[in-house]
Structures are given as C-alpha cells and as structure tokens.
Amino acid sequence: TPGSTSPAPDTAFVFEAALQSSAQHTTSTTKAKAPTDLLNSLQLRQLTTQGSWAAPLLTLNSLQLDAQAAKLQGQLKLNTSSLASQGQLSLQLPGLKAEVNGHVSSSDGLGTLSIQVQDAAQASQWLAHFPPVKAQLGGNQLRGSAALSARWQGGWQQGGQAMQLNASLRAPQLDWLPAAAIPSLQLRDGQLDLVGPVSQLQLSSQGQVTRGTQQSRWQLQAIGGRAKDASWQASLQQLALSLQQPGQSQPWRLQLGAGNDAANSSSPAQAVTLRWVPGTNTNTLTVSAGAVRLLGPVPGTGGISWQPLQWSQPVTPGKGGKRLAQWHSQGRIDGLPLAWLDAFTAQPMADLGISSDLLLSGSWDAAQTDSLHLRATLERSAGDVRLQADAGRSTPLPAGMQEAWLQVNLDGEALSGSLRWDSQRAGKALAAFSTRLKTGSSGLSWPLDAPLGGSVQLQLPPVDAWSALAPPGWRLRGTVDSHIDLKGTRSQPQWEGSLRARDLAVRSAVDGIDFSQGTLDARLHGQQLDIQNFTLRGAGTPQNAAAGGLLSITGSVLWLPEAGQANIRQRVQMALQGQLSALRLSSRPDRRLVASGQLQAELKDAKLFLRGSLSADSALITLPDDSTPTLDEDVKVRRPTTPGSIPAAPTSSSPAGVQITPDVLVNLDLGPDFQLRGRGLQARLAGKLVLTAVGTATPALTGQIRTVNGTYQAYGQRLQIERGLIHFYGPIDNPALAILAIRPKLSQRVGVQVSGTAQSPVVSLYSDPSLSDVETLTWLVLGRSGSAGGAEAALMQQAALALLGGNGKSLSDQLTQALGLDELSFRGASESSDSSSTASAASITLGKRLSQDFYVAYESSLGGAMGVFYIFYDLSRYLTLRAQTGEQSAVDLIWTRSYD
C-alpha cells in the first residue's frame, strides 16, 4: 500500500497461492495488452506456490507451474541481498528437459545442472513465444539434439573456497535452417568441455560444421579465467582448423605453430596468450607473439607469425562522439606457394602453360592512431616459374625469375603501391600507382574526384600464358612493349603513352580459328586509344605463310567521363574500320572459308552499328553424315539438389542496366567457289544475302542462294540438280526450298524434288512425262522401265538398301566412293525381256560421269568373257549421242521430245 513501511527483518510473511486459468479472464487494458497476450499465447493453466518472505530471504517450499505442455516444479531459497541461493527445480518443455539441484554463495557451493534437448525444432518453436527469443531466431529454425551437464563446487569469490567447474556440452547433430535462400549450417559431433577452477579453466572443443558444399573441422585447447584484478586472460595451447572445399582432394588446414618443419614435428606449439583488461577509462586487449602454419590442398606449407599486439578503446566517446580504437600489429608471411592459386581459379595454371614452385614471403606493419597506417610487401623468396613458350615444345622453359616484388602503402588517406617484375624469359614490368581515399562515417572510400598518378612499363615475350585472357579452349600469344603514364582523377583518368605488340597469335582448334603474325601499334592520349595499325594473318602453308590472307583494323576507342553516365556501356565510344584481304577465317577440314571485304563498326550511346560487305573467295563446308542426338523439347532433365545447397537463381532475359543495342546491315556474297558437300550432296553455291539485326530482334537473312553444277545421291544413284534455289526471307534457320534433282542419261526424266522449308521439307518423286510413283521409282533406281517381271524385286532390293543405308550411305554407295565411281549396279537375268534367259545373263555395270554432259559406263556379263563399253554424250537438251563397243558395236542418235 502506498505510504506503508517495510516489515522488520525478523518478520516473516507466510503465503500460499493457487491460480487457475479461466476463459473469462482474457480481456485486458491497453497498458496490459502485451503481458496478457504473452500469457494467452503460453496458455497458462495452473500456478500453485507455498512459502514465506523474511527480508531479504525468499523461501518457496513448493512451486508448480503448468502452461501449454510446459511444467516447472521444485523448491527454492533466494537471498535477494547476497544472491545466495539453494533449491531444486525441474523444467519440462516440448523437446527439452532441464534440472538443477544444489546451492551456491560467494564462499561456498555444490550442485549439478542438466539440460537435455531431444528435439531442438520443438523446443525452439515453444521458446519463440517469448519476444526476445523470437527476435533472436528471426524466422530461422533449429533441428537436432544436444545435451549439457555441469557440476560446481565452491563459491564465486576468491575469499572463500574457489569454485570448481566441470561442464560438458555434446551436440551430435544440430542444424541451423535459415529462413532465407542461403545454405544451412550443420553441426556434427560438437564437443565442449570446461574443467577446473573458474580462475584457470581448461577448455577443449572439437567438431565439424558443414555449410552447403564446404566442410570445416576444429580442435581447440585453451586455459583461461578471471584474475584477482578483475581482468580475463586465456592461453591458447592447441588450435587446429580445416576447411574442405568441393572439388579438392585435401582440405585447407591451419595449425598453431611456426616453421615449415613444424608440420612433421611432434613437439607442442608455442602457446598464445590473450588478456582482456576492462577499465574505467579504457578497455585493453593484449595478444602475445605467436605463429601459425597453413597447409593447402596443393603441396606446400606457409607460415604466418606476428609480434605482440595491443588493442585499446576508450570507454567514453571523445571529440565528435567517437570512440576511436588504437592498435599496432607487425608480422610476416613465409613460404607461401604460388601454386595455391589453382585452388581459387576455375582453370589450373597448367592449362595456361604455367607450372611453378615459386615461394612468396612478405611482411606487414599496420597501426591505428589518429588514422590508419599500413605498409605491406610481398616478394619472391625461392623457386621459379616455368612457361610453355612454344606450343611445339614438350617441356616448359624456366622463366629465370630474378625479382618479383609488390608493396602497398596507406598513410591516412594517401594510398600508393609499386610493382617490380624481372625475369630472363617472362619479360619485365615496372608499375607505380598513387591516389587518395576519403574518410567517412562508413570508413574509407574512393571518391570520384580522387587524384590519380602512376606509370606502367612492360616488356613481355611471346609466351602462351596470355591465354588466361581468352575464353576456355582459346590460346593467345604475342610480345608487348609499352610505356604508359596515368594522371587526372578517378572519374576522368588521363592516359599518355604508346602500346606496341608483335608476333600476335589467336588460336582455337575446335573452332578452326588460327591467326598469327599479328602486329599492333596504338597510342594513348587523354581518355582515347588510337589504333594506328592492327594486323593479323590467317593460317597459311609452310611454303607460303602469306597465303592465309590479311586482316587490318584502324580506328579509335574513347572512354567518356563518368559524370552524367549512369552505365559503363554508355561511357565507351568506338569507331573501327576493318579490311579483309583473302583472309582464311576457318581452317577446319570440314569448314574452310576465305573471305574479303570491308566492315565498319561504331559504338555510341550503347548502340553498336555494323555496316559493310563480305565476299567468299573460296569455301568448303562438309556436312556431317550423323548429327549429335538431342532430347525432344518435351523432355526435361531434373537433377536432385544436395541438402543445404543454394538453389539456382532464376535467370533473367533482360539483366539490369543498359544493354548494347545492335544495328547490323552486312551484305554477303558467296563468291565463285563456295562448295557444299555431305549427306549425298555435292554442289557449288552462289548468290547474295543481306544480314540484318536490330535491337533485341532475332538476326535475319534475306536473299537467294542457288546451286551450280550440283549432284545429289539418292536411292543408290547420283542425281543431277537442275534447279536448286534456297530463299531466305528472314529466319536464318528456316529458308524456303525449291530443289529438283534429275537422274541423267535417261530417255525418261525422273528424279526427286524438295519443297517447303528447311524445318518442314516436303520430298516427292518427280517424272516428266508423269508416271506412277512405282514406275518413277523403277526408272530412278534401275534406269529403265520395270514392266518385266523381275524388275520389281530388284527395285525393292535397291530401295531397301538405300533406306537401310541412311543418308545415302548404302553398301553400294560405299563401294562407289571407294572406287571413285558414280554408278555400281547389278542386273539379274529376270530383268531381261527374253523369257529364256538364264542366270548367265546376269550382269554388273560400272559408271563414271566425266563432265556434266559426258558419261561412260562398262557392263560385263557374269557368265560371259566380254563386256560392253558405253559412251553417252548430251549434244543438247533434246539430242543425245550413245555409242557402244564390245560383242556388238553401234552408234545411236537419240532425239527426245516431251509433250504435256
């Protein structure tokens, strides 16, 4: 009651209470809304207690609480003045059991604590009813089990019996499942033990953590506790960390110890001491000198050592309301293998023609006083780099390293760096750079108006290592000699210098690209690069290297200031002119192309304009007989996802930012020697096309291609293409077809015609004058009428061979190709008009077309000694000369006229 006095210390109040939940007592005022909501969410059912209060001692002889599957019961004595306590309590929640039994005071104590988490998911879900716990979980979930057991003896003050602690935490399986789409954390076989007096606890821990595809292990031993002066100190006796990354046979390992020989030594590592001293004005952390060694998946051992480190921070803010910490750190890095780069790159150095046993060493000296100061160096200490200087060599050449040195300096806001590289075979490089940073509320930043200064000098020999700049499967080569100076600001850098390259080469064996003997002469001034001369030669012959043709490019590239340009693509302007002179664009055996022409490219405001005309001097395209099989469009392959892996983000067809918009208009001329072969087709193509592409629209082709002197192998016969037209009206992969192929040297015109489009072709038999399909097929396969009784049988044999062979590759086709013939056919005795013919009348015919109008054939009877030699010569469209010699010699002049 307000105004009442406190009871005397020897006065005791005895109380007994029993609370029962009721649905009628769920309303609340605005001020009591939060506690009432909490009680309602916990669904408090019953609370009973009996005890006494004799200040400052609170005694609960019995306590029992029941709320939504949670039970708390026991007894407790608490001195609210000295915080001494004694009691026995047990708590049971969904998925969790806890029990504490004992007493503790400043001078004495004894008791046990046990917490068993059988189901972390249920326990965390129940505890999320409390707002502080819910805020810590943040929608994330726990899953698994854990157990904590502890025993104490003694008081918490040094004046009495020092408290002895024996605690053990075991987590055989515990998972942290984030609500966001990030990898989960999986703890396996986690252990933590604390043994000894509170002033000098012995700590040991080990376990394994998996996140996504990365797996980490740790092992830790330390001694520490609270000293008499209220400071905390710890001595790290043993430390072993490992990280297993996907695709690596061995993990990364970090161990406490120094020196490369320590990896094979059984002697204990030097302990590292940490001391934390809280103060009235300043908090101080001190770390003693120490060292660790690092072992990677690639052979090698690196060492990191440091001098004593002291870190201090004022308790009260200084000027400007900031508590600026002060610290100083010095250390070294020794024996760091350069080959470790393979663990962080998608393409190993060996694929780029590089192998190395180079070891790097370095040092750092960093301090934070009124500002940040840093001086760091990294240099070669031993070893060399071996380069594949020539693709024809079986063994790489040592680079002959003489110096490799890198230094970075930061003094407040001034940042500078320098690089020196000197080798006998890998060239020389000398670079220097300086700028100024800006200190802000979020730390150091690099403003747009920051001044720049620097210079670069390069002398690089022709080695295959420059292939790192090219896509996979491509190889680059060349020498570079340049001297460039840098001035201006970050938003408006000013370059001045020259760039010279010789013996440039670009090669991709898969794509048939092979350019060499390239040269480059360019000049930098301001923010513009003027390409005075850039040339490349195509793949020539050993006798004549210039036979590969020449590509020549001139022009300029301008880098606009950053101000007012929101996207990097809008800051680049380009104007280039290219000249192709009989350039061999592709040198693959099945795809040979030599072209000449001119191209002009202009890039402005993220729009690329490409104009010009190209003509094929010669070309040979060979179509494969069998294409690579592909799945149908309705077949979808789904791969099972690994638990904890990151789901693939959906791709967007329109990424953020301004895209380069193409505007292409190029005239294409197939020229006088564009050959197409494969799948039974042999023809020269001629015609002109126009390639256009505007914006995001699909590139389109318009124009017409026609065949010249073409033949087509079908039904075991080589047909002459009389009309072959391919009309492009937009889609590149679906032109319209109008093709007619006729079997030559026949009095009856028969053949095959193709219409429709490339994706939906329509193939049909053709005859003039019109015949039935069976009769047309008989003329097409046998070269004569099939009215005789055995003709249909032979016809079916030929057609079956043609269909079973696939793509015109029947057994007879393979024989004719091997013998260099155009016809290889067999005629049985039943095909003769004479019914008395026997098997001896069977014959075989060999034929060869010497030109478009001239055809020769030889027919021999299998039962006779002599054969017949035929000559067919087309004098005109209607008049044919036929001659034969053998058992009988004759000359015929055949005139053919067709009527509808």
pLDDT classification of 815: cutoffs 50, 70, 90: low
* 3-state secondary structure at position 344: coil
Closest CA to 85 of 104, 112, 99, 72: 104
Q: Are 248 and 297 in contact (CB under 8 A)?
A: yes
Residue 133 has pLDDT above 90, yes or no: no
466-492 burial code (b ≥16 CB/10 A, e <16): bbeeeeeeebbbbbbebbbebebbeeb
Environment class of residue 786 by beta-carbon count within 10 Å: exposed (0-12), middle (13-18) or buried (19+)?
buried
Category of 852 on φ-ψ map: left (φ > 0), alpha (ψ -120 to 50) or beta: alpha
User: pLDDT above 70 covers what percent of the chain?
Assistant: 79
Average pLDDT, rounded, for the chain: 80
pLDDT classification of 810: cutoffs 50, 70, 90: low
Model pLDDT for residues 719-728, shown as the tens digit of each residue: 888 889 999 9
Residue 411 has pLDDT above 60, yes or no: yes
- What stretch of H or E contains 128? none
Tell me how many degrees the CA angle 392-395-401 measures, rounded to the nearest 5.
Answer: 115
> To the nearest 10°, the Cα dihedral for 134, 137, 138, 139?
-100
Top-confidence residue, 485 or 268: 485
CA 689 to CA 674: how far, in whole Å? 14
Length of the chain: 900
Residue 644 has pLDDT above 80, yes or no: no
Q: Are 502 and 458 in contact (CB under 8 A)?
A: no
The token duo for 151 is: 């025993």
State mean pLDDT over 170-178.
91
pTM higher than the cut 0.85: no
pLDDT classification of 804: cutoffs 50, 70, 90: very low
CA 448 to CA 62: how far, in whole Å? 71
Place of tokens 């380009």: 574
Model pLDDT for residues 603-642, shown as the tens digit of each residue: 988 889 999 999 999 999 887 765 556 666 677 777 554 4
pLDDT at 279: 83
Closest CA to 335 of 358, 356, 355, 359: 359
Model pLDDT for residues 733-765, shown as the tens digit of each residue: 888 989 898 888 777 888 888 888 888 888 888
Is the link from the previous residue into 56 a cis peptide, with omega within 30 of 0?
A: yes
CA 476 to CA 469: how far, in whole Å? 8
Q: Are 676 and 685 in contact (CB under 8 A)?
A: yes
Q: Percentage helix, strand, coil, to 5, in the chain?
A: 10, 55, 35
pLDDT at 828: 55
Top-confidence residue, 672 or 818: 672
Residue 132 has pLDDT above 70, yes or no: yes
User: pLDDT above 90 covers what percent of the chain?
Assistant: 29
